Structure formats: structure tokens, C-alpha cells
Amino acid sequence: MAAGIEVSNLSISFPLYHGDARSLKKRTKKLVGGLKVSRFQRDDRNRVVVRALSDVSFTVKPGERLGLVGRNGAGKTTLLRALGGIYEPVDGRVLVRGRLGTLLDTSLGMDIELTGRENIRLRGLFAGLSKTAIREIENDVETFADLGTFMDLPLKTYSSGMGLRLAFGLATAIMPDVLVMDEWFMAGDAAFMQKAAGRIAGLVEGAEILVISSHLPTVLEKWCTRLIWMEQGRIRMDGPVDEVLPAYLAAG
């Protein structure tokens, strides 16, 4: 079965619980003017919600490397999380065919009470891997993450850099068909990036489909064949990198 992504009429909203909803809406109106107010709506329980994604539809075929661009708050992370199965659609549908790999959040799918080694074994079991395959991954991640004795200590004792190394090593140890990643995984310190570059390249080239969110033109030009430009939770433009990127950059 070929890998694929089908997103149809996807909408995702977040309720805003804090503060008085009416004054919040008024304040927002004052702050952002008429433009963004359409993103604040009332749901069927009369709560004020922010519409992170509105009626988004697209498909991705094998071989495509899709980049998401857009200003802060455009909905890129929400879309990646919906593809990663972290957010359930309020309306619409998300279908991902093939083994999904996500590089979105270092703590995602990890238990902070368990050690690095235990987390690796658990992930292998979830992926349905054999004992031998799990042992290979354990060795691979142990070498890459270079955590020393921390490998056998609970994650809650890790620094954020250690957490990143473990999460990155683990997420890149099992080859996915569909890889969904946030650009900050490309933003470790120089030494980390040097070490990580080969693994990213292997993964990106090995995966049938890549979806990456990035603000960096160099990353998009290097890794992507197609871009979706998100604006206020909607798709503004969808096409080849050499068409969408100049239009997006020109819009400031």
C-alpha cells in the first residue's frame, strides 16, 4: 500500500477558557482590528473559541516533500499535530496511509517516569518490532544520544538538550513512510546538528512523504518540492516551491 495523506475540510478550534469571554472578544477586536476577528467564534456550547484551522483540504502523494509556511499563528503547528494524530478534527477528516513518524515535540509519546532505555523499548513494542530489532534500535539510539549513565535514569532528570537527543535519536531510528516534522528539530546547537544532519537526510530521503513546517527559506528550498502557504488557518496558496516561496516572501 502506497503512503498518502488526505485532508478534507479540516477545521480545528481551541476553546478559550480564561477570562470573561465577552470582554476577551472585545479586547481581541480592539487589538487586532477587524481582520483576525473571524478566527474567534462561539461554539455550540457558547464558548469563545479560536479557530486554528478552517476548512483545510489537500492530498499528498508518494514522493512529495511538502513544506508549510505562514506567519506566526497561521496554523502550521496545529496542522502538523492533526497529521500526527495528536489533535482530533472538530470537523473534517485526516487520513494518513503508511507508518507515521513524527518529530514534533521531544516529550511526545515518552514517559518521564521511565528511563531512556525503557522508553526506547516501549516505543519498539508499540511499533510491533521484534526483540532483535528493538535491541538494534536501543544500541543505535544509545550511541547517537550519547547520554552515558543518564540512559538508565528517568527522563524527568534530563536537561532539555538530553531530551532532544533521545527523542531525536528514537524518532529517527525507525524509518517511517510518512514523516511529519517541525522545523525546530533542525535547530539544535551546531554540534548536535552536525551529528543529526546525516540522520535527518537518511530519514527524509527514506520516507515516502515528508511534511515539514519552517520559516527558513534555505530549509524549504533544500528539502521540499511543494509548499502550502497558511494564512489565518486557511490555505492561501499551494504549489511548487519556486512559485509559492517568492509569493510568500514578497507578501512580507
Question: Contacts with ligand ATP in 205-234 (CB under 6 A)?
Answer: none
Residue 16 C-alpha cell reads as: 478559550
CB of 230 to ligand ATP, least distance (A): 6
CA 138 centroid distance within chain:
24
Cell 462561539 belongs to residue: 42
Site for ligand ATP (CB under 6 A): which residue of 21, 24, 50, 127? 50
Q: Which is nearer to ligand ATP, 75 or 98 (CB)?
A: 75
Q: Which is nearer to ligand ATP, 86 or 153 (CB)?
A: 86
Over the window 51 to 90, marking each residue x when it contacts ligand ATP by CB under 6 A and - when it does not, the resulting string is: -x-----------------x-xxxxxxx------------
Q: Which is nearer to ligand ATP, 8 or 11 (CB)?
A: 11
Return contacts of 203-207, CB within 8 angstroms, 24+ apart.
203/101, 203/172, 203/175, 203/176, 203/179, 204/65, 204/179, 206/175, 207/3, 207/101, 207/175, 207/176, 207/177, 207/178, 207/179
Q: Which is nearer to ligand ATP, 50 or 153 (CB)?
A: 50
Binding of residue 14 to ligand ATP (CB under 6 A):
yes
Residues found near ligand ATP in the complex (CB under 6 A): 14, 50, 52, 70, 72-78
